[in-house]
Structure 1
Amino acid sequence: MLDRSASIEQFIRENGITFHADQSQGAVPSDEDEETANRPWQLSVIPFVMGSAEWNVLSDGLVQRTHLLERILVDLLGEQRLIREGVVPGELFWANPVFSRAYHGLEGTPQKLHVTATDLVRGVDGLWRVTGDRTRAPSGLGYLLENRIVMGRVLPKLIRRSNTRRLASFFESLREHLQSLAPQDRSNPRVALLAPPSGSYREFEDTYLARYLGLTLVRGSDLAIRGGCLHVKTLGGLLPIQVLWRHISDRRCDPLELDPASNQGVAGLLRCVRHGRVAVVNAIGSVLAQTPGLMPYLEQANQFFFGGSLQLPSLKSYWLGDPQQRAYVLDHLDSLVLRSAYTVSSQEPIDTTRLSQQERAEFLQRIEADPGQFLAQERLAYSSTPVWIGGQVKPQRVALRNFQLIRGDRVEVLPGALARVGNDEMELSRSPVSGQRTLDCWVTSDVPLGKHKSLLPSGRNAIKLRRIGDELPSRVAEHLYWLGRYVERAEGISRLMRTTLSRLSGEETTEMAAELPRLTYALASLGQIEPGYAVDSFVAGLPNLDQVLPASVLDPEQPRGLIRTMQSVMHNATAVRDRLSNDAYRILRRAFRELNQPASASGRAVSEGMGYGEAIERVGTLIVDLLAFAGVTSEGFVRTHSWQFLELGRRIERADQTCDLLLTMLCPATENGKAICEAALEITDSLMTYRSRYLNLVRLAPVVDLIVTDDTNPRSVLYQLDRISDVIEKLPAVEGPVRLDAIERIVLDMQYQVKLADPYQLCQTSDDGTLEQLGKLLRGIAGRLPELSDAISAHYLIHTAATQQLTGTGR
């Protein structure tokens, strides 16, 4: 158990399985709250097991409830018979802040709900009850799938021996259903998953589902309405989207008709839906069916539409907007808990028994002022399940989130659930991403299961063969471009750090190491140490470099430091995780995690921080990891536009770093050039090549040739410019504020300058002892590289700027 539990933790850590929640407040995002902090996912090694007999009863109840919610939503967005005939009070919706008139009368597809979730608990009496419904865009489906994949690797034989029902058939049905909703081109439609902005609590799950189901992951800035149809903006132009699986709030889907401050959706989406040009899953307005205040009326609604009682009852609930129900609640206040009646909230329910006398009085005043905003529910003691925690089996309360797929008149229930455990009922009363430990839910069968169903297509439909595509959104291209730049920047910083630290820890004193002042200037230029270290008159008043430099490796306060640079690497890598291979992402995760390990205190006081040896080892390990990432992307990335923008970022950054380094190391006057040249060769990873060509004879001209003008050296300036030119030739010729030929001219001009340069002339010293010609060349290249970067951004990435509001004012 210990070994398997450790394997689960390692798998989660290496694959970056995370969710987002507010650690400081213990709260989790609601439907309207998106951005939160990152936290690791927790999965217990012991599964939650349910036999076929119990599951079949539960499944039948879920099917009946899902049909009811679909019927209710169709009615609320259409005839509204429930309200007109008094089954459900209209005030529950008219006063609801999530209600909008724009939801009513949207035609689109006749079916409104497609993917729903039901939150369930089992009382100590053994009966299951529903604590809430999720009909907007229920979260947890991706985590449920990931839990099963993890457990399948840790306990593969046990899962098979237990005849555990598989999940793949549900996801196959989901993919087929999404494709079947396309208004046209149903053989191979473009289905997109609309995710909230980067940093959302859904970020990992959305990326995971998009990759697993083969969907196009998009955000609001990627979308555009043209000719009444929805399109994704790519480098090659606009490409139509037939089906949009949205994971953003209803009111944020269309700033033109809903929230004008929203930049998560696209203006004109509702009009596009009305004309039947795109299918939206779930329907815009589906949030109404998950209104908590609706729960007291579901039994009556089922009687109204279908007759009979619900097989799967709700937790006893009371809406305080109803005078009779409010009177009951006030008389039994201490035996109930209260929550928001209008929206699914991230907060724990209010337990009046935990309130002080003053807090209780203030809460009663809130109820009197606006009773309709509250829903009261019975207290229920949840059943327990065994959980492996801290090397022991302990009982904890358990709650489930089940998922359903509606396909016309048929409801498919996923054979399992996202099982959550906690210390008490209040802890489990919040969202599945509120931080509780999870279990994989196994639905077992008494008989062996049939043939495994795969997500691979049948292959009956012919598909046009392709070699390269333009389906790269500009937002993704921007993140890939900056990922390349930050990865290269981190490697450059690490190489400079390692070279400097090795000199500081060597046998020679700092006064004898002629190259050390140049290395110090280079570090200051890159923002790794205080700029004062580059000014001789300031150095005397600053701490010794041998004390400052090792500590700077782990200093998160340095804006341009190694830690902050790797944070930028992970930000961009996470934003394009669906475009990176699992191996590439795992390498970056590992590099970031190992760099951020606390400094060991072996042989030193903790206050002394990191020593030379550990600092050198830390940056050396980072270099190896970044080289592994470069190798994986070089050998594993198909040469599409994704690879081209990653490559552009890497090459521009490497050229920029090399120019800055040589301006600092070689151009100033010096008396002892050998040590400085060797340091420059070491930082640029060219020392081995130099010695294979010239042995130990160090001269300035061959050093300059190797690092600047040698087009066969992958680290030279000219090599970077050649690769940049090759990539730009393959980019699509789209319209932009800067013409593509203007970008090409910038590159050609830099190539022309370097190719015409004579290394021997570049090494001629001027009257003041400096390499004036080399400095002029490098400053010219370094000055044009930002111009090139800006031109590329303006031509291909311009739409990623902040979206302007169309109407209204921001809130």
Structure 2
Amino acid sequence: MAAPFSLAHCEQPAGRYDECRSEEGHIRPHWATIESMLNRIGASGLNDRSLQIEQLIREHGLTFQFDVDQKPGQLGSVPVALEDQDWTGLSAGLAQRVRVLEAVLDDLLGPQTLIRERIIPREVLWGNPFFYRAFHQLQRTEESVSEESAGIGAVSRSKRLHVTAFDVVRGDSGRWWVTGDRTRAPSGLGHLLENRIVLSRALPHAHRSANVRRLAPFFKSLREHFRALTPRAMENPRVALLTPGAGSYREFEDSYLARYLGYTLVQGRDLAVRGERLNLKTLGGLLPIEVLWRHVSDQNCDPLELDPASLEGCTGLLQTIRDGHVSVVNSIGAAIAEMPALLPFLDASAKKLLGEELILPSVATYWCGDEQPCRFVLNNLDKLIIRSAHWVKEFEPMIPEQMTSQQRGELRRRIKAQPHRYVGQERLSHSLTPVWSDGQLQPWHFTLRSFQLQTADGVEVLPGGLARVSPAPELLGGSARSGLMTQDCWIVSDEPVDHEETLLTAESQTIRLRRGGAELPSRVADHLFWLGRYTERCESIARLLRTTLTRLAGEDELDELSEMPRLIHALAAMGQLEPDYAIEGLNGAMPRPDVMLPDSVFDCGTTRGLQSAAVGALRNASAVRDRIPLDAYRILRSLHHEVVVQGRPRGGDVISAIERLNRCVTLLLAFSGLAAESLTRTHGWRFVLLGRRIERAHQTAELLLATMAEPMRDESSLCEAILDATDSLMTYRSRYLSITQPAPTIDLLVTDESNPRSLRFQMQDIEQVLLELPTSAKQVGLGEDERIAADLTRRLLVADIANLCHCEPDMKRVALAALLDSVCATMPKLANAIEARYLIHTSVSQSLTGEPDKHAPLAFSPMSLP
């Protein structure tokens, strides 16, 4: 039985507000269940659950990570609890703040009464470099219709702020303060949902016993609200979540939310405005989008009227909004309401527009654009935090107290030169909450990001939020990216909570049955195509490496392995080894294979090797994680962990490398099986299959060209190695027993239509898949891709094995080499033809050669993926 364990073991600094204990040191009543749980599981149980949480997050890939080179955040094994009555008071203030910011934003982008009456200085708005005049009076047609005649949908669409977030902290007195508003596209909603799901698995039934209020009703309301936003009366409108895409800190969260809510995840290049409507570009044509939940910055939404360099938005989107043909959440221009420079004037604005005083005060903020506040900031730098006045992401908050005298002097000069760009904020103390860290309970500083949904019926506040904790309060002063750890936030009720309601509850309307596939966006098809290619490349290289290393680990000496030079040549041709190994005469000057190969297996310097392919596979899977099974994504993360994250095996010995390669091949086979059995036979599956078949044909042809084009004196060992590397040895022995010869080997891998590893089998599959893809009504006859495939299939069909195996006087299999050269040259042409026909509009090109693409998004470095 675990030793007695209590929250009382956690230190309680004097004078600080403690979330779990009163000033007298007594456990607060709403923490009683947590106290009982901790006493039951003990310190060892908390350690075990911390490891379990870490494992769950790693498998799901749902880390609170904002940059690819940033260490993923952690989820604490101890939740933070707030009492229901306390939360009710806080919620009232949060709901009011939404209404205030809605009114302020509506005024700033409309009549601008606040500016005319100098309640808000005009420089706050006109001096903002992120304000575009296109935001002003970006009206929707519904606003000119009376609420009575238009109904609830028009009332909902007349709102500018739908989903908002506020960063709040509790001071030493127990009072809540708002430190920042997020009105554009607040991040963290998916991560708090992840926290709840993961912690509920690590601490099963704890939520029920503690009467924790559930999150599902909020997300259900969100879906119902988005459905009500459709400009046309529809029971099941298409809602798209617009994400910045690969390389963005939003990538994982957006994919998770899209999957959870059942929305279509799109990027800017998936969208097109046609006929005054916003459409999703798919292989089957254009599909109208009714509601767009945007997670890109305001200025990036429409390159026609806003930032012309943006690739994240859609040309013509603003005019579509004006015409009332699409609803956008939140309204473009909503970021104006989150300007830190607004905070000093928010209370006066609330009184003017709503006749109310703020229930929740803002942290004391001084806009340097006014002379007196600027003087105060300059005289009290060491007591303040300096932020951007106009955009929370313009630069990271600065703490002058932690700067050198030279840095403070430079900051003073910058503020004096452009005072309107800066605000100074009071450095609030944060309440404390217990955190399990380094094997003990420690009091860490706590801040909360709340989330609100504004509907036609009012404002609904999510019960809880994204809790961030840190041992140092200054680490919590930035955006939601800051802080060392997140915690699940429990709102504990005095009464039992209804746990029957779920987001998965059956809806009232009847959905028309149909079969999907044609609605696949071309960008998604592109990622699926390359996912197939990269996974197949991983398998080909891993198998050949394993075959080569297995022979090095055998009883024979290196000089006795006649097949080894050819295998090394093949690895060099595939890009796993330096090209010099493929040049006859130079390979003798290179390091010995038994010394070099174990390290090269996990060498991040090989731009076309195993590591590069594993990174490419995970990158493309991440881009379409809402389209592939979760188990498939877990497999590729595990593969990435084996190949990239773990690095070289200790000691770099052959046996360790073989064991790792065995696990890699097993994972890749699991992915292949899952792709075959879990992906529906739609266009998405076809593009994965096309990628796999094209890459397998290319890899097999390269392998045979490097090993079999020139005969050897005794080819038995070489043929066996090739069959092993292509997973065809069992098939061969079932037909020909133990004798291995070139002719049956070449037949099995080149012209045998029944072998899934042969070149002819690949081309048969490719031809069949191409026939099943959509064809333009204007096309007459075969497309370019179909002609290329048909021509190569014919060459394989008429190929004569005796001729392929025939050796010319110069001791070369000329016919075989010509055929394999043709396959190697045709596969890139075929891939390009497929991309030109279906994927040409995508702006991001990919390459298996490892050559950088200047148009590509932020790439994953080999050691940076989560």
Correspondent of 1:75 among 90, 104, 107:
107
Q: Are 2:149 and 1:107 equivalent residues in the alignment?
A: no
Q: Which residue number in structure 2 is paired with residue 206 of structure 1?
A: 254
CA distance in 1, matches of 2:814, 2:398: 74
Q: Are 2:88 and 1:49 equivalent residues in the alignment?
A: no
2:372 is matched by which residue type in structure 1?
Q
Q: Which residue number in structure 1 is paired with residue 61 of structure 2?
A: 16
1:473 Cα deviation (Å)? Answer: 1.1
Correspondent of 1:749 among 784, 787, 791:
791
2:801 is matched by which residue type in structure 1?
P
Q: Are 2:96 and 1:64 equivalent residues in the alignment?
A: yes
Q: Are 2:541 and 1:474 equivalent residues in the alignment?
A: no
Q: Are 2:686 and 1:653 equivalent residues in the alignment?
A: no
Q: Are 2:478 and 1:433 equivalent residues in the alignment?
A: no
Q: Aligned-residue CA RMSD in angstroms?
A: 1.8
Q: Give 3-state SS (helix, strand or coil) of 1:125's partner.
A: coil
Q: Which residue number in structure 2 is paired with residue 276 of structure 1?
A: 324
CA distance in 2, matches of 1:207, 1:176: 20
Q: Give 3-state SS (helix, strand or coil) of 1:625's partner.
A: helix
Q: How does 1:627-642 map to 2 (within 5 A)?
A: 627-642=669-684
Q: Give 3-state SS (helix, strand or coil) of 1:266's partner.
A: coil
CA distance in 2, matches of 1:533, 1:355: 54
Conserved 8 A contact 1:21-1:434 = no
TM-score (norm 1): 0.94
1:2 is matched by which residue type in structure 2?
N
1:85 is matched by which residue type in structure 2?
E
Q: How does 1:129-140 map to 2 (within 5 A)?
A: 129-140=177-188
Q: Which residue number in structure 2 is paired with residue 31 of structure 1?
A: none
Conserved 8 A contact 1:236-1:734 = no
Correspondent of 1:87 among 106, 111, 119:
119
Q: Which residue number in structure 1 is paired with residue 3 of structure 2?
A: none
TM-score (norm 2): 0.88
1:521 Cα deviation (Å)? Answer: 1.0
Q: Give 3-state SS (helix, strand or coil) of 1:472's partner.
A: coil
Cα deviations by residue, 1:243-302 (Å, 9 ceiling, x for unpaired): 110000001111111111111101111111100011111000000100101011111111
2:560 is matched by which residue type in structure 1?
M
Correspondent of 1:581 among 606, 629, 632:
629
CA distance in 1, matches of 2:588, 2:801: 38
Q: Which residue number in structure 2 is paired with residue 667 of structure 1?
A: 709
Q: Give 3-state SS (helix, strand or coil) of 1:308's partner.
A: coil
Q: Which residue number in structure 2 is paired with residue 30 of structure 1?
A: none
Conserved 8 A contact 1:17-1:40 = no
CA distance in 2, matches of 1:738, 1:362: 69
CA distance in 1, matches of 2:431, 2:778: 61
Correspondent of 1:775 among 800, 817, 842:
817
Q: How does 1:364-513 map to 2 (within 5 A)?
A: 364-456=412-504, 458-513=506-561
Any stretches of 5+ residues in structure 2 without a counterpart? 1-45, 141-156, 846-866
Conserved 8 A contact 2:603-2:648 = no
1:754 Cα deviation (Å)? Answer: 1.4
1:195 is matched by which residue type in structure 2?
T
Q: Give 3-state SS (helix, strand or coil) of 2:783's partner.
A: helix
Q: How does 1:170-569 map to 2 (within 5 A)?
A: 170-345=218-393, 347-456=395-504, 458-569=506-617
Conserved 8 A contact 1:532-1:539 = yes
CA distance in 2, matches of 1:38, 1:365: 31
CA distance in 2, matches of 1:243, 1:82: 31
Q: Which residue number in structure 2 is paired with residue 155 of structure 1?
A: 203
CA distance in 2, matches of 1:420, 1:38: 17
Conserved 8 A contact 1:735-1:795 = no
Any stretches of 5+ residues in structure 1 without a counterpart? 23-35, 602-608, 804-811
Conserved 8 A contact 2:723-2:729 = yes
Q: Are 2:638 and 1:593 equivalent residues in the alignment?
A: no
Cα deviations by residue, 1:474-518 (Å, 9 ceiling, x for unpaired): 111111111101110111001111111112222222222221111
CA distance in 1, matches of 2:760, 2:408: 74
Cα deviations by residue, 1:345-379 (Å, 9 ceiling, x for unpaired): 37553333334444333332222222221212222
Q: Give 3-state SS (helix, strand or coil) of 1:117's partner.
A: strand
Q: Which residue number in structure 1 is paired with residue 864 of structure 2?
A: none
Q: 1:381 to 1:520 in 2, by over 3 A?
A: same
Cα deviations by residue, 1:549-607 (Å, 9 ceiling, x for unpaired): 11101110111121111111111111111111110000010111022314444xxxxxx
1:625 is matched by which residue type in structure 2?
L
1:158 Cα deviation (Å)? Answer: 1.2
Conserved 8 A contact 1:346-1:430 = no
Q: Give 3-state SS (helix, strand or coil) of 1:50's partner.
A: strand
Q: 1:567 to 1:323 in 2, by over 3 A?
A: same
Q: Are 2:193 and 1:145 equivalent residues in the alignment?
A: yes
Q: 1:694 to 1:59 in 2, by over 3 A?
A: same
Q: Which residue number in structure 2 is paired with residue 4 of structure 1?
A: 49
Correspondent of 1:689 among 726, 731, 735:
731
Q: Give 3-state SS (helix, strand or coil) of 1:156's partner.
A: coil
Q: 1:541 to 1:769 in 2, by over 3 A?
A: closer
Cα deviations by residue, 1:616-661 (Å, 9 ceiling, x for unpaired): 1111111110010000111000011111000000001001111111
Q: How does 1:657-806 map to 2 (within 5 A)?
A: 657-734=699-776, 741-801=783-843
Query: After the TM superposition, which of the residue ranges 431-440 and 348-357 deviates more from structure 2?
Result: 348-357
Q: Give 3-state SS (helix, strand or coil) of 1:500's partner.
A: helix
Cα deviations by residue, 1:520-562 (Å, 9 ceiling, x for unpaired): 1111111222222223321232211211111101110111121
CA distance in 2, matches of 1:773, 1:185: 66
Q: 1:365 to 1:745 in 2, by over 3 A?
A: closer
Q: Give 3-state SS (helix, strand or coil) of 1:377's partner.
A: strand
Cα deviations by residue, 1:655-676 (Å, 9 ceiling, x for unpaired): 1111111122222021101111
Conserved 8 A contact 2:752-2:761 = yes
Q: 1:576 to 1:740 in 2, by over 3 A?
A: farther
1:366 is matched by which residue type in structure 2?
R
Conserved 8 A contact 1:737-1:794 = no
The share of aligned pairs that are identical, in percent, is 51
Q: Give 3-state SS (helix, strand or coil) of 1:60's partner.
A: helix
CA distance in 1, matches of 2:649, 2:380: 57
1:126 Cα deviation (Å)? Answer: 0.7
Q: Which residue number in structure 2 is paired with residue 644 of structure 1?
A: 686
1:343 Cα deviation (Å)? Answer: 1.1
Conserved 8 A contact 2:291-2:328 = yes
1:778 Cα deviation (Å)? Answer: 2.1
CA distance in 1, matches of 2:834, 2:59: 34
Q: 1:269 to 1:516 in 2, by over 3 A?
A: same
1:324 Cα deviation (Å)? Answer: 3.1
Conserved 8 A contact 2:469-2:483 = no
Q: 1:675 to 1:736 in 2, by over 3 A?
A: farther
Conserved 8 A contact 2:245-2:623 = no
Cα deviations by residue, 1:713-742 (Å, 9 ceiling, x for unpaired): 111111111111121111011489998533
Q: Which residue number in structure 2 is paired with residue 623 of structure 1?
A: 665
Cα deviations by residue, 1:742-788 (Å, 9 ceiling, x for unpaired): 32222222222212223233222222232222222222222222211
1:799 is matched by which residue type in structure 2?
H
Query: After the TM superposition, which of the residue ranges 507-516 and 160-169 deviates more from structure 2?
Result: 507-516
1:764 is matched by which residue type in structure 2?
H
Conserved 8 A contact 1:292-1:343 = yes
1:699 Cα deviation (Å)? Answer: 2.8
Conserved 8 A contact 2:66-2:250 = no
Conserved 8 A contact 1:237-1:734 = no
CA distance in 2, matches of 1:360, 1:314: 26
CA distance in 1, matches of 2:346, 2:777: 55
CA distance in 2, matches of 1:328, 1:532: 68
